[in-house]
Amino acid sequence: MRELLSRPKVAVSIVYVAGLFMSIMDATIVNVALPNIGRDLHVGATNVDAISIGYLVSLAIVIPTSGWVGDRFGGKRVMLAAIVIFTAASVLCGLAQSFGELVAFRILQGVGGGMLTPVGMAMLFRVFPPQERVRASSILVIPTALAPAVGPVLGGLLVDSLSWRWVFFVNLPLGLLALAYGVLFLRDTDLPPAGRFDVPGFLLSGAGFAALMYGVSEGPDKGWGSTQIVVTITVGVALLLILVASQLRTREPLLNLRLFGDRLFRSATAALFLATAAFLGVLYLVALFFQVGLGMDALGSGLSTFPEAIGVMVGAQAVSRRLYPWLGPRRVMTGGLVGVGAVMVAMTQIDAGDLWAMRGLMFLLGYAMAHCFVPAQAAAFARISASDMGRGSTLFNALRQLGGAAGVAALTSVITAAGVGQTLVSGAGTRDLHPYHAAFLVAGVISLAAALICLTIRDEDAESTRVRRRRQVPTPEPALVD
């Protein structure tokens, strides 16, 4: 058993999945607790979202540096340090005695979370050779699919039966187990030279991504036309444009934007940006649909959302074992995203009496989305060298994180503009669901736009990742260092 647990592929997979699960679940589980936190710490509803915004801005600042940090100090050290920071900050959040303390500790949590995902993904794809990356990508969908579905269910249980503080304390046992396992079994692969640290790139990327993330996240609440949001987004975009020009001229850039010269990496990343915007936007919207639109409690809403996670895991197996090796990423991703769009359009027909139909659509949404998640992650890095894996993972995850925030902001703006469905329809005895239907339709259009981008993918570019099971041969493990 010890020999199995110490294998590089097993060790990296377990530690990364545990860390990623904590990081993703944290966002959804905290959202459930926000009303209780506001009441307990005497914070108004318009200000309590600083708990979430602080975390997102912190992520936006840290993620661009993660590739360099992982290459400079080693993936093992950085990932374990990220787990320590995230877990310790979670405990501090649970012990916070004031709103200011809680926001500060959430920012610290973002530091850990921002390092976890890019560094862990780079480690995963360094130990899995190209012909096995579709299997590695099917591993990644476990936390990606399960965490957003588990968060609301677990959050509802903890807030109702204990207190909001337990939505942070729940990270402690998982973090300690991941840390102990990583210390015992995780080892580093050979790493490329990190080069010098690009200070101008760090300042521009940190300020630019933070401003853009803040503006996008706060836009629906404060109004897209408000001076604060317009100035913040404008400054963010301007800084990022300067960043692009600077990075393309720098010999050792913090963000290796030249990787976008690879068509496969560019197309897969762009498609996943839009797909993530539609998917995470709909997951956020569905929680409101169930709780505000249909009047369900948090636990009932979480249980009704959970079929999505089952769908993703079932779909991931079908993609990794059969569809991807035979059809390639282009057709699988295009077909999957067309399916995602069709499911979202079907959601526009759901009324208050169609609860089981909505649960069925949630399963289909997850199943179809797996046809994008798995191929995108397997194919995107097919032509990226091991030395560029850390920087490639940074770009990939930075855009995916921004896509999720943009999707939530866009769909929240749609339901706000359409009139949030909290008011009972006159004389009908049911709630007005039309704002949600409009947002589902917009999400479906975004998914179809992502499908169009997938048509630019060439399957032959990802040929190294398409291995039929009967043709697979054992591959040597990468060289390891203590």
Closest CA to 124 of 110, 140, 143, 112: 140
Could you list the beta-strand ranges (E) of 217-373. none
User: Which pLDDT belongs to residue 4?
Assistant: 63
Is residue 100 a contact partner of residue 371, using CB atoms and an 8 Å limit?
A: no
CA distance 399 to 60: 10
Query: Helix crossing, 8-40 with 50-73: angle to 10°?
Result: 160
* Averaged pLDDT, 329-337: 95
Q: Please report, for the chain, how many H helices and E strands are present, in that order.
A: 17, 2
Closest CA to 171 of 105, 226, 89, 101: 89
* Averaged pLDDT, 292-318: 84
CA angle 132, 188, 143 (to 5 degrees): 55
Helix ranges restricted to H, 381-467: 389-418, 434-454
Portion of the chain with pLDDT greater than 70, in percent:
91
User: Which pLDDT belongs to residue 161?
Assistant: 83
Closest CA to 398 of 25, 78, 114: 114
Pick the range with the lowest mean pLDDT from 59-68, 337-346, 447-456.
59-68
Over residues 399-429, the pLDDT tens digits come to 888 888 888 888 888 888 876 544 333 333 3
Residue 312 identity (one-letter amino acid): V
Pick the range with the lowest mean pLDDT from 91-100, 133-142, 217-226, 306-315.
133-142
Pick the range with the lowest mean pLDDT from 88-92, 233-237, 307-311.
307-311
Range with the largest mean pLDDT of 306-320, 329-343, 397-411, 465-479: 329-343
Residue 81 has pLDDT above 70, yes or no: yes
Range with the largest mean pLDDT of 80-94, 305-319, 388-402: 80-94
- Full DSSP string of 134-183: HHHHHHHHHHHHHHHHHHHHHHHHHHHHS-TTHHHHTHHHHHHHHHHHHH
CA distance 126 to 477: 10
Element (H, E) at 8: helix 8-40
Is residue 80 a contact partner of residue 179, using CB atoms and an 8 Å limit?
A: yes
Local confidence band at 189 (pLDDT 50, 70, 90 cut-offs): low
Largest Cα–Cα separation, the chain: 71
Is residue 307 a contact partner of residue 366, using CB atoms and an 8 Å limit?
A: yes
User: Which pLDDT belongs to residue 191?
Assistant: 66
Residues 6+ apart with CB under 8 A from 186: 11, 12, 15, 76, 79, 80
Could you give the 3-state DSSP secondary structure of residue 480?
strand
* Averaged pLDDT, 310-320: 88
- Full DSSP string of 90-126: HHHHHH--SHHHHHHHHHHHHHHHHHHHHHHHHHHHH
* Averaged pLDDT, 24-34: 79
Range with the largest mean pLDDT of 127-141, 234-248, 455-469: 234-248
Residue 99 has pLDDT above 70, yes or no: yes
User: Which pLDDT belongs to residue 204?
Assistant: 93
Residue 3 has pLDDT above 90, yes or no: no
Residue 105 has pLDDT above 80, yes or no: yes
CA distance 436 to 352: 12
Mean pLDDT over each residue of the chain, to the nearest integer:
84
User: Which pLDDT belongs to residue 405?
Assistant: 83
Closest CA to 399 of 275, 264, 311: 275
CA distance 477 to 30: 40
Residue 154 has pLDDT above 70, yes or no: yes
User: Which pLDDT belongs to residue 5?
Assistant: 63
Local confidence band at 101 (pLDDT 50, 70, 90 cut-offs): very high
CATH topology for 256-476?
A: Growth Hormone; Chain: A; (1.20.1250)
Tokens of 202: 């760090």
Portion of the chain with pLDDT greater than 90, in percent:
33
* Averaged pLDDT, 146-158: 80
Over residues 273-295, the pLDDT tens digits come to 999 999 988 988 888 888 778 88
User: Which pLDDT belongs to residue 425?
Assistant: 34
Domain covering 1-192 assigned CATH 1.10.3720.10 in the classification: no
Over residues 47-57, the pLDDT tens digits come to 777 888 888 88
* Averaged pLDDT, 84-107: 94
Is residue 374 a contact partner of residue 476, using CB atoms and an 8 Å limit?
A: no
CA distance 316 to 308: 12
Residue 8 has pLDDT above 80, yes or no: no
Phi, psi of 164 (to 5 degrees): -65, -25
Tokens of 302: 């979480």
Residue 469 has pLDDT above 70, yes or no: no
Phi, psi of 431 (to 5 degrees): -90, 155
CA dist list (Å): 458 to 264, 443, 452 = 7, 26, 13
Model pTM score: 0.83
Antiparallel, parallel or unpaired: β 188-189 and 480-481: antiparallel
Residue 234 has pLDDT above 80, yes or no: yes
Is residue 63 a contact partner of residue 114, using CB atoms and an 8 Å limit?
A: yes
Residue 335 has pLDDT above 90, yes or no: yes
User: Which pLDDT belongs to residue 389?
Assistant: 83
* Averaged pLDDT, 356-365: 94
User: Which pLDDT belongs to residue 238?
Assistant: 96
Residue 2 has pLDDT above 60, yes or no: yes
